[in-house]
Amino acid sequence: MTDAVVFDLDGLLLDTEQLWDEVREAITRERGGRWHDRVQADMMGMSSVEWSRYMHDVLGLRDPPEELNRLVVQRILERYSQRLPLVDGAVEAVRRLAERWPLALASSSNREVIDAALELMAVSDLFRATVSSEEVAGGKPAPDVYLEAARRLAVAPENAVAIEDSTNGIRSAKAAGMHVIAVPNPHYAPPDEVLAQAELVLPSLAELTPDAVESASSRP
C-alpha cells in the first residue's frame, strides 16, 4: 500500500550535481583550498552543515563553515535565477503523482535553495512537506531526512515510496524503511549493487507513473 511519495531534488528533478561541484570548486580554488578528485563523491548527500565543515576541515579553507555555506548558496541561487537546470519530464512527473498521492521532498539542498527551485518549477503547492537535510541530524546516507519527511506527512515510512537518483540517496531511503524507485543520474550513476537495493529502476522520469509506484510498493 502506498500512502505517499517522497522525491529527491538534485540529480533527479534538477540536473544540478555538477553545478554544485562547479560552485564549490571555484570557491575552493579562489580561496586557496585543496580540491581533489574524490570531493564530489565525498560530499554527495551531505547536509550544508556537513559539506561546509568538509570544505573548511578537509579542503583547507580558512573561512568559517557558516561563511562558506553562505557563499555557495548565494552563487547557486544566482545560477538558478539565470537558468533552472530542469531534468526532462520533471514537472510532469511531479504533477502525475500529485494527482494520486500526497508528496514530500527530501533534499540535501539548503532550505532557501529548495524553496527557490520549487517556486521556479511552479510546483510548490504540490508538496505537502519539504525537508532539507540541514534541518535534521544527519545528511544522506543517514535515514534522517526521509524519516522526517514521513513524519511531516504523518505516514509510516514503510508505506511511502522514495524516488532517488544517487547512491547515498538510495541508501538513505532504504535505511528509512521506504520502497525505492531509482532513476539514475547519467553523470553519477550508482553502482549495480546499490541499484539492486531499489525495488524498481527506471531509465527516465517519463516512465515514473502511478503504475510504476504501485509496482515498487508491492514488492517485498
Going by their DSSP bridges, the two strands 160-164 and 127-132 should be labelled as unpaired
User: What does the angle CA 94 – CA 45 – CA 168 come to, to the nearest 5 degrees?
Assistant: 85
Dihedral of the CA atoms 86, 167, 51, 144 (nearest 10)? 100
Q: Is 3 designated active site? A: no
- 98: number of Cβ within 10 Å: 16
Cell numbers given for 109: 539542498
**Measured distance CA(153)–CA(160) in Å, rounded:** 10
Alpha carbon distance 183, 170 (integer Å):
10
Active-site residue, 88 included: no
Helix (H) or strand (E) holding 201: strand 200-201
Catalytic residue among 3, 10, 165, 192: 10
Exactly one of 3, 8, 37, 125 is catalytic; name it. Answer: 8
Q: Which residues are catalytic?
A: 8, 10
